[in-house]
């Protein structure tokens, strides 16, 4: 093979390699992932230990969430009782709603007798935990956060204990932590005020709501999350996002005040348009009640007021 043909062949391979690399770079540029930055998440579940001096109702160990008077989600992973050394725990809810606890016997030589008491040490109900039936789950419905309750455990066995205060929407069975199971508010303009009030976020949770904007209703909408005074730790660190039917974020707000408002413009559509509202919390210790509002601001009129005593349309001095 001549040197000329060899050089031509080498240039052809080099040119082909350059084309391949260029094509690969072109294809690589097309492989773009659209990632949505989300808030940091920290679990609000708090582990606690048996204090060992809580062997009677009168000396019950008080279980609370750090910085709060009540429980959000507290767990004792490994407790133990033995003859003459019972365990008693006192707790109350962080917010209105339900208060739940679950005791599970792990192992031991005897059954565990578990009793639920009110603040005056009056027995409400009890359960015996055996090897065959080791778990007792109980819900105290409609609690007042000011009311305290106690659990007394006795026997010779090990156990685990969880006490938690679920948020309203999830506890109602909606489980609205994703768009697929969003709470349906109905159509804008016909949403009942009661459907927008008295929700709670009691752990890193996402509450999703959906609503429809009627056809041919373009214009600005304000979606506001308000935390009533003294209903949670401050700053709130609540946030709100508005999403379209495809999940795209249209507006968002995440301040540290008591009010967050996400503002967007609804399009002029020939059919009803669906939107999603996402409310979330991103901090440990933020146990907040909140209200929603979805409003369309009215037109604002501004001008100058003057005296026209004789009704001629001109200002009269005096």
For residue 213, pLDDT beyond 80: yes
Alpha helices (runs of H) in 36-175, residue ranges in sequence order: 168-171
Q: All domains of the chain, ordered by start, with CATH? A: 46-164 (2.60.120.380), 168-295 (2.60.120.380)
**Distance between CA 223 and CA 239 in Å, rounded?**
11
Predicted local distance difference test score (pLDDT) of residue 182: 87
Q: Which residues pair with 74 in a beta bridge?
A: 46, 163
Query: Do the beta carbons of residue 262 and residue 226 sit within 8 Å?
Result: no
- Burial (0-12, 13-18, 19+ Cβ within 10 Å), 205: middle
User: Which of 228, 219, 221 is CA-nearest to residue 242?
Assistant: 221
Q: Which residues pair with 244 in a beta bridge?
A: 275
Task: For residue 291, name the pLDDT band (cuts at 50, 70, 90).
Answer: confident
For residue 167, pLDDT beyond 80: no
Least confident residue range of 50-59, 74-83, 171-180, 245-254: 171-180
* pTM for the structure as a whole: 0.53
Compute the C-alpha angle 261/262/265, nearest 5°: 135
Of the ranges 156-170, 191-205, 283-297, the best mean pLDDT one: 156-170
- 253-288 confidence digits (pLDDT tens): 887 777 889 999 999 999 999 999 998 876 554 556
């Amino acid at each position: 093979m001549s040197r000329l043909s060899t050089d031509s062949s080498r240039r052809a391979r080099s040119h082909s390699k350059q084309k391949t690399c260029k094509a690969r770079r072109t294809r690589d540029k097309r492989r773009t992932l659209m990632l949505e930055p989300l808030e940091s998440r920290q679990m609000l579940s708090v582990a606690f230990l048996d204090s060992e001096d809580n062997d009677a109702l009168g000396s019950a160990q008080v279980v609370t969430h750090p910085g709060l008077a009540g429980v959000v989600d507290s767990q004792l992973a490994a407790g133990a009782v033995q003859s003459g050394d019972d365990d008693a725990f006192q707790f109350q809810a962080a917010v209105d709603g339900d208060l739940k606890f679950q005791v599970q016997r792990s192992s031991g030589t005897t059954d565990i007798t578990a009793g639920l008491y009110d603040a005056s040490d009056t027995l409400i109900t009890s359960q015996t935990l055996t090897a065959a039936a080791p778990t007792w789950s109980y819900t105290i419905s409609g609690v007042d956060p000011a009311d305290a309750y106690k659990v007394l455990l006795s026997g010779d066995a090990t156990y685990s204990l969880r006490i938690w205060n679920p948020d309203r929407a999830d506890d109602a069975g909606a489980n609205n932590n994703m768009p697929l199971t969003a709470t349906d508010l109905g159509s804008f303009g016909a949403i009942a005020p009661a459907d927008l009030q008295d929700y709670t976020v009691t752990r890193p949770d996402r509450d999703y709501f959906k609503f429809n904007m009627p056809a041919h209703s373009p214009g600005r909408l304000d979606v506001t999350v308000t935390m009533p005074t003294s209903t949670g730790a401050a700053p709130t660190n609540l946030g709100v996002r508005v999403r379209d039917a495809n999940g795209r974020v249209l507006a968002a707000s995440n301040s540290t005040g008591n009010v967050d408002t996400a503002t967007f413009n609804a399009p002029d559509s020939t059919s009803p348009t669906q939107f999603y509202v996402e409310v979330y919390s991103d901090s440990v210790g933020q146990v907040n009640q909140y209200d929603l509002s979805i409003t369309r601001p009215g037109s604002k009129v501004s001008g100058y007021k003057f005296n026209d005593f004789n009704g001629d349309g001109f200002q009269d001095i005096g």
